Amino acid sequence: MKSDRRVKYTQRVLKESLLKILQERPIERVTVKEICDRADINRSTFYVHYGSPQELLDSIKNELYDEIKAKKKDFTDIKAYMRQICETIYEYRDLMSVLLRAGHMEQLFQAAALWKDDFVDAFTRMGMPAERIEMAYLFITCGAFACIFTWAMGGFTTGIDAISDEVYKLTIGALNNFSREED
């Protein structure tokens, strides 16, 4: 048991140290020594867990993706779905902010892709023409993420219920307008 706690502690402080360093410079300029100095961990201990700073960053990004994937809920209740997305982004806002600034957004796009089939099914049921579904998916996903991320970073001074309700209303409005055939 003690060993598990030590391993978790070591991995946590290494991750926290790397994220702080990434606020200052890109991963390509980060050294194992620098991470270890900041974490107060020996280099040999680092190498027990990770092979390089990039491997540590990949571990962090994969952990984020796995957390988002684990929280994926049924898509049938879009309003509850929006709230769940708000909660998840808010919970991981510091990590997402660092990844965004460092240009490491692939896990967020991977996470958005988790719901693509749900979106396609919903759009199809709404009668949206097949040729418009991909555009609608990208528009809704990117727009909702931008609003929620801005809120999570303090850009909007509203509570979680209000932001999830607003994003829900904007999404439904866009879907209703977008699903109609062009005149």
Contact between 104 and 61 (Cβ < 8 Å): yes
Residue 54: per-residue pLDDT: 94
What one-character DSSP code corresponds to residue 27?
A: G
Q: Which residues of the chain have pLDDT under 50?
A: 1, 183
Count CA atoms within 13 Å of residue 94 on its CB side: 6
Longest dimension (CA), the chain: 68
Q: Which amino acid is at 122?
A: A
Q: What is the pLDDT of residue 40?
A: 96
Cα angle 68, 69, 70; round to 5: 90
Angle formed at CA 14 by CA 13 and CA 17, multiple of 5 degrees: 80
Helix (H, G, I), strand (E, B) or coil at 8: helix
- Separation CA 159–CA 151 (nearest Å): 9
Instruction: Say what the pLDDT of residue 97 is.
Output: 79
Contact 91, 48 (CB under 8 A): no
Task: Give the C-alpha distances (Å, rounded to integers) separating 164 from 87, 90, 149, 168.
Answer: 9, 11, 12, 6
Provide the pLDDT for residue 162: 92
At 1 the pLDDT is 46
Angle subtended at Cα 116 by Cα 61 and Cα 106, rounded to the nearest 5 degrees: 25
Cβ-based neighbour number of residue 107 at 10 Å: 22
- Provide the pLDDT for residue 52: 97
User: Which pLDDT score is estimated for 150?
Assistant: 86
User: In whole angstroms, what separates CA 13 from the centre of its chain?
Assistant: 21
